[in-house]
Amino acid sequence: MKLVLFDCDGTLVDSGRLIHEVMVRTFVHHDMPEPTYEATKAIIGVTLDSAIARIMGQEHIDERVAAMTAHYKAIYGDVRALPHFQEPLFDDIAHVMATLSAREDLLLGAVTGKSRRGLNLIIESHGFEKTFFVSRTADDCPSKPHPAMVLECCAEAGIDASETIVIGDSIYDIGMAKAAGAKALGVSWGYCAVDALWDAGADAVLHAPLEILAHV
């Protein structure tokens, strides 16, 4: 039995435009310069407070970052409900997840920088209620690349990290997987450059969702 853990943003769903729109509105509300889309893409994958701090050019979480984090969370649902800011699955992801879910030799899980509420919205929107055996979010564990998300999922599933595959689009996913002792598969259809995934230690980089089936 193997455990396959999926990142969410940039791996399963195309949420970049939504995240950026909410981030821009948050920064403007707090009289901060609007972040560029490149700046937003660079932090997708880490927990929200750390992401906001990094865009601001700081590593510590202070009161201003905490206030901006709370504002982001407060407006996220309303922005997500707008027609142009949905979180669609990438092409063929639905087929990939259905195929993997049907295999008796696999357990699937989610490891995401989203909040638990954010992950639940994805699960409900795309019919993944029975897909993930385990999951960890930003509400449960330290930010990626800390290995806690992977290690806790492994412990809950009763599967060693050496029998676990982490699939994600960011250097934070790759770093988390390697720190936990799991195999790391990068994907090129998300928000990170392919060279950066290799440099982070990816065991392979996939260029289309259907390639996941050949590697799992």
Q: Give pLDDT tens digits for 118-138.
A: 999 999 999 999 999 999 999
Residue 144 tokens, joined: 């990626």
Sign of the alpha-carbon torsion through 136, 140, 145, 147: negative
User: Average pLDDT of 41-63?
Assistant: 94
Q: For residues 70 and 107, give the distance between their C-alpha atoms in angstroms, rounded to a whole number.
A: 34
Is the overall model pTM greater than 0.75, yes or no?
yes
Token pair 């689009």 in the structure block, residue: 169
Q: For residues 190 and 168, give the distance between their C-alpha atoms in angstroms, rounded to a whole number.
A: 8
Q: Which of 194, 163, 180, 176 is nearest to 113 (CA)?
A: 176
Structural domains of the chain in order of their starting residue, each with its CATH number: 2-14+87-215 (3.40.50.1000), 16-80 (1.10.150)
User: Average pLDDT of 22-44?
Assistant: 96
Please tell me the predicted confidence (pLDDT) of residue 84: 83
- Work out the pLDDT band at 63, boundaries 50, 70, 90: very high
User: Average pLDDT of 15-29?
Assistant: 96
203: buried, middle or exposed (CB in 10 Å: 19+, 13-18, 0-12)? middle
Please tell me the predicted confidence (pLDDT) of residue 83: 84
Please tell me the predicted confidence (pLDDT) of residue 202: 98
**pLDDT at residue 157 above 90?**
yes
pLDDT by residue (tens digit) across 203-215? Answer: 999 999 999 999 9
